[in-house]
Amino acid sequence: MSATIQHAAPIATAAKLFCGFGDPTRLAIITTLADGEQRVSDIVTALNGSQGNISGHLKCLRECGLVTDRRVGREVHYRIAHDEVIDVVRSAERLLAVTGEHIDLCPNYTTNPNA
């Protein structure tokens, strides 16, 4: 039995979306924000990253419409823009629960481009 998948968005646009999720720092930011709104400094601390690096990734996520921000005085607070972002992450977690070992061992994917 086969199911037809309806393509609501062009494949190229969907691939760009998954590139955004494919960066470890951006995915960690999204996962951190799944618990609720956070200040940039909180995200930097949680991810043990640099302010510049985290801010650059947050800018990317904001420009793509995945997170939103609001200024409170000198601080910027970020949150997930759409519940569907969390749905994608949770779906990936469920998929990894059944395929994670195979993905870890797959020679076609690497998190180190120099490997």
Q: What is the pLDDT of residues 75-106, one digit of tens each?
A: 999 999 999 999 999 999 999 999 988 888 88
Residue with tokens 């997170």: 67
Provide the terminal-to-terminal Cα distance of the chain, rounded to the nearest Å: 39
Residue with tokens 């947050």: 58
Residue 5 within any structural domain of the chain: no
How many Å apart are CA 89 and CA 54, to the nearest integer? 19
SS3 71: strand
User: How many folded domains does the chain comprise?
Assistant: 1
Half-sphere exposure (CA, 13 Å, Cβ side) for 84?
A: 4
User: What does the pLDDT read at residue 105?
Assistant: 85
Residue 78 within any structural domain of the chain: yes
Q: Which domain holds residue 80?
A: 12-105
Residue 89 within any structural domain of the chain: yes
CATH number of the CATH domain containing 82? 1.10.10.10
| Mean pLDDT of the residues in the chain | 89
